[in-house]
Amino acid sequence: MYREKYDLTGKTAFVTGGGRGIGLASAMALAECGAKPIIADRDPAVLDEGLTALRRLYPAAEGIELDVTQSDAVTAAADRFNQAGGVDILVANAGISWPDTPGEEMGDDVWLKMIDINLNGCYWSCRAFGRHMLARGAGSIVTVGSMSGVISNKPQRQVHYNAAKAAVHHMTRSLAGEWADRGVRVNCVAPTYVDTAMSGRGLRTPELSKIWMENTPAHRAVTAEEIASVILFLASDAASALMGSIVLADVGYTIW
C-alpha cells in the first residue's frame, strides 16, 4: 500500500534548474521511482552534463534549454510537453543565492535579478505547468524555498534572497489554497545549507562556515540527495495530505 504511493511509473516530471545540484538529484530520485524526467537549465553545457548522467539511469530522459525568467519561453515549454503527453510533477527549483550584499549597499540590479529568478521564475513555472495540471485535474508541484525564507540568517547579508524565498513560501501556500480542490497539490521544501555549486559561490568564507555549523544543532550541512528525498516524498502520493506545506529540511538550524 505504501510502496505504491512512491511508484511514479507512467508519470512525467519536469525539473527547472535540473542540470546539477538539488535539481539534478531530484530528477534522479524521481526517475529511480519510475517517472520520466525532463530537466531544464539555462546553460547548455550544464544541461548536457546533467542529461548525460540522468540518461544512465533513465535513457528516455529529456532536456530543454530554458531560462525561467522568460515567461513566454516557460509557457511554451509547458505547452510543448503538455502536447507530448503531459507533465504530472513540476519541481520549481531554479534559483541563485548570490552575491551576498549588506542591505544598505544593495544596488537595484542585484535586488531585481534575485527577485526575477527566484520569485518570478518560480511563479512563471508554477503558473504555466499548473494550468495544464488543473485542466487534467491532477498534478503535484514542489517549489524550492529556503530556511532563509523563515529566518533572516543575519551573518550572510542576503536580504534579497531571504525576501524572495519568503515570497516563494507564501506563493506556494496561496496557490495550494486555490488549487487544493482541483486535484493539484503545491508544497515547498525549505533547505538549510546544501553542499552544491551554488553554496560554493559568494561569501562562503571559513568564518561564515564556522558560524553556520556552530548554529546548527546537527553541526553539518545537508546533501542534495537528502533534499531530493523530501522532494520525492512531496511529489508522490505518499504526501497526499500535504497542501501548502513548507517542509523545513534544515538539520535543526531554526530550532535555536
User: Which residues does the annotation mark as catalytic?
Assistant: 161
Distance CA 78, CA 230 (A): 24
**Which residues of the chain form contacts with ligand NDP (CB under 6 A)?**
16-17, 19-23, 41-43, 46, 66-69, 93-97, 117, 121, 144, 146, 191, 193-194, 196-199
Cβ distance to ligand NDP smaller for residue 10 or 154: 154
The C-alpha cell that represents 203 in the structure block: 561569501
* Shortest Å distance, C-beta 100 to ligand NDP: 12
> What's the chain's Rg over C-alpha atoms?
17
Cβ distance to ligand NDP smaller for residue 33 or 115: 115
C-alpha 250: how far from chain center: 15
User: What is the side-by-side strand order in the sheet with 184-191?
Assistant: 62-65, 36-41, 12-16, 89-92, 139-144, 184-191, 246-249
Cβ distance to ligand NDP smaller for residue 199 or 229: 199
* Shortest Å distance, C-beta 63 to ligand NDP: 12
What is the full DSSP assignment across 77-125?
HHHHHHHTT--SEEEE--------B-TTT--HHHHHHHHIIIIIHHHHH
Cβ distance to ligand NDP smaller for residue 82 or 118: 118
> If residue 248 lies in a helix (H) or strand (E), which one and from where to where?
strand 246-249
Tell me whether residue 250 is exposed, middle or buried, using C-beta atoms within 10 angstroms of its C-beta: 0 to 12, 13 to 18, 19 or more.
buried
* Shortest Å distance, C-beta 182 to ligand NDP: 26
* Shortest Å distance, C-beta 12 to ligand NDP: 19
Distance CA 39, CA 51 (A): 7
